[in-house]
Amino acid sequence: MRKLFATASIAALALSLAACGGSGAGGGTDEGAGSGGSDEQKTVGVAMPEQTLQRWINDGKAVREGLEEAGYKVELQYAGNDIPTQQEQIDQMITKGVDVLILASIDGAALSTQLDAAEAANIPVIAYDRLLTGNKNVDFYVTFDNFNVGVQQGTSLLTALGIVDADGKETGEKGPFNIELFAGSPDDNNAGFFFNGAMSVLKPHIDAGTLVVKSGQSEFGQVATQGWDQAKAQSRMDDLIAKSYQNDKIHGVLASNDALGRGAITAMQNGGYDAASMPPVTGQDAEIASVKMINEGLQYSTIFKDTRKLAAQSVQAAKDLLEGKSPEANDTETYDNGVVTVPSFLLESDVVTKDNYSSLLIDSGYYTQANVDKGSVD
Ligand code: BGC
């Protein structure tokens, strides 16, 4: 009788585990959910913000390839930087019954309804690169050390101006140097991290008078660029040149990414600066168009965030969640989304200049020299 009871309980347990597997969040009875060995192939919904920046194209491609290699089906959507489109795409993924979501948001605070729906359908959510805010239903976050990206950008500007040396030590150089600041989109949680990281190294030199923001615009709210829009950065720089630099030179520009850097550079070219007189401009993403400009001496630096590694990390997290495991975090403190602190895996980034782009980008197979010369990956 006892034995019978035990057998019945095991059968019940097996049944409930199987049911759990069908709901999306559980690993089911077959631990090879992603290894191709399961009875039913799992699907991962992947939402990416836009396709004008090359980085998101690379991200989408690498995530898709990684997931497919792991044996999953992939539903990948790009939203053209339009928030309602992204909401609708994610709604549809949930309706279709994807098993896990990897979301690179446009506005990190605009997906709360979708996060609630995912929770109700038992679909785990991974925030990709950008934090999802204002909702507890975020299981994991894969990103780079975004504050440190900003520190690297600020430090590279100081190095370019000779205020610190290659080892990061102050040289005693007092300038004064005129600089302008271009930050990212206010609805992107990363933008504040990049800006605060950069300001943590620039502000002491602004306070000391070594750096002068001639426009007087040095608060995030004054220098943020909606949608990370290159054209908006260009027209803001046009204005700054017209208002503050009729009789003065710009000596440096902090730009939070390559698109903003290129916008500022184009405005300065139109304002009479050429490769020889162009001040150092920072960037981020190691976009091919910017790496070409770095090689030509038009842009000073960019930050290389290897999207192949980020994609691989998100695939690993998806796999873990599908197998009912908690993905390994290396930061459980930094990313408070307003409701919960989301366990995160932060990757490291590198500063790229003319001197080291070859070893960082060519030797690692990210680009070929021909890509750099053409400024294109096609
Ligand atoms: C990303 C950057 C990117 C920017 C604009 C940020 O969230 O971290 O790599 O340049 O968005 O798309």
To test the ligand 1 pocket, which listed residue (187, 284, 310) has its Cβ within 8 A of the most ligand atoms?
Answer: 284
Clarify whether residues 209 and 358 are in a common domain.
Answer: yes
Q: Is residue 133 part of a domain?
A: yes
305 alpha carbon – ligand 1 mean position (Å): 10
Q: Is residue 36 part of a domain?
A: yes
Place of tokens 């902090």: 254
Residue 272 sits in a domain whose CATH number is: 3.40.50.2300
Q: Is residue 1 part of a domain?
A: no
- Distance from C-alpha of 93 to C-alpha of 261, rounded to nearest angstrom: 35
Clarify whether residues 282 and 335 are in a common domain.
Answer: no
pLDDT at 39: 54
- Which residues does 44 contact at the CB level (< 8 Å), separation at least 6? 67, 72, 73, 74, 75, 98, 99, 100, 101, 102, 318
Q: Model-level pTM? A: 0.89
Clarify whether residues 43 and 76 are in a common domain.
Answer: yes
256 alpha carbon – ligand 1 mean position (Å): 9
Clarify whether residues 298 and 311 are in a common domain.
Answer: no
- Kindly write down the DSSP assignment for every residue of 218-280, as one continuous string: -SHHHH--GGG-HHHHHHHHHHHHHHH-SSS---EEEESSHHHHHHHHHHHHHTT--TTTPPP
Strand order across the 211-212 sheet: 211-212, 177-182, 252-255
Residue ranges around ligand 1 (CB below 6 Å): 53, 55, 129-130, 184, 188, 190, 228, 257, 284-285
Clarify whether residues 72 and 134 are in a common domain.
Answer: yes
- Distance from C-alpha of 24 to C-alpha of 73, rounded to nearest angstrom: 13
To test the ligand 1 pocket, which listed residue (132, 133, 190, 305) has its Cβ within 8 A of the most ligand atoms?
Answer: 190
Q: Is residue 3 part of a domain?
A: no
Number of structural domains the chain divides into: 2
Clarify whether residues 272 and 336 are in a common domain.
Answer: no
Q: Is residue 186 part of a domain?
A: yes
Clarify whether residues 222 and 358 are in a common domain.
Answer: yes
- Distance from C-alpha of 300 to C-alpha of 307, rounded to nearest angstrom: 21
Clarify whether residues 254 and 291 are in a common domain.
Answer: yes
pLDDT at 216: 97
Q: Is residue 4 part of a domain?
A: no
- Distance from C-alpha of 108 to C-alpha of 132, rounded to nearest angstrom: 4
To test the ligand 1 pocket, which listed residue (81, 141, 152, 188) has its Cβ within 8 A of the most ligand atoms?
Answer: 188
Atom of ligand 1 nearest to the CA of 129: 8
pLDDT at 378: 85
343 alpha carbon – ligand 1 mean position (Å): 20
Clarify whether residues 49 and 116 are in a common domain.
Answer: yes
* Gyration radius of the chain's alpha carbons: 23
257 alpha carbon – ligand 1 mean position (Å): 7
Clarify whether residues 263 and 314 are in a common domain.
Answer: no
233 alpha carbon – ligand 1 mean position (Å): 15
pLDDT at 16: 40
Cα distance between the two ends of the chain: 71
Contact yes or no for 280/114 (Cβ under 8 A): no
149 alpha carbon – ligand 1 mean position (Å): 11
Chain-centre distance of CA 317, in angstroms?
17
| 240-248 contacts, C-beta under 8 A, 24 or more apart | 240/180, 240/214, 240/215, 241/267, 241/268, 241/271, 243/215, 244/214, 244/215, 245/178, 245/214, 245/271, 248/178, 248/214
160 alpha carbon – ligand 1 mean position (Å): 23
Q: Is residue 5 part of a domain?
A: no
Task: Spell out where the chain has E strands.
Answer: 43-48, 73-78, 100-103, 125-128, 140-144, 177-182, 211-212, 252-255, 302-304, 344-347, 350-352
Atom of ligand 1 nearest to the CA of 257: 10
Clarify whether residues 331 and 274 are in a common domain.
Answer: no
The one-digit pLDDT tens for each residue of the chain (378 residues) are 333 334 344 444 444 433 333 333 333 333 334 444 455 899 999 999 999 999 999 999 999 999 999 999 999 999 999 999 999 999 999 999 999 999 999 999 999 999 999 999 999 999 999 999 999 999 999 999 999 999 999 999 999 999 999 899 999 999 999 999 999 999 999 999 999 999 999 999 999 999 999 999 999 999 999 999 999 999 999 999 999 999 999 999 999 999 999 999 999 999 999 999 999 999 999 999 999 999 999 999 999 999 999 999 999 999 999 999 999 999 999 999 999 999 999 999 999 999 999 999 999 999 999 999 999 998
pLDDT at 33: 40
- Distance from C-alpha of 122 to C-alpha of 31, rounded to nearest angstrom: 18
Domain housing 114: 10-138+307-347
Clarify whether residues 161 and 248 are in a common domain.
Answer: yes
Sequence letter at residue 235: S
By CB atoms closer than 10 A (0-12, 13-18, 19+), residue 304 is buried
Q: Is residue 343 part of a domain?
A: yes
**Atom 5 in ligand 1: residue holding the nearest Cα:** 228
Atom of ligand 1 nearest to the CA of 149: 8
26 alpha carbon – ligand 1 mean position (Å): 32
Atom of ligand 1 nearest to the CA of 144: 8
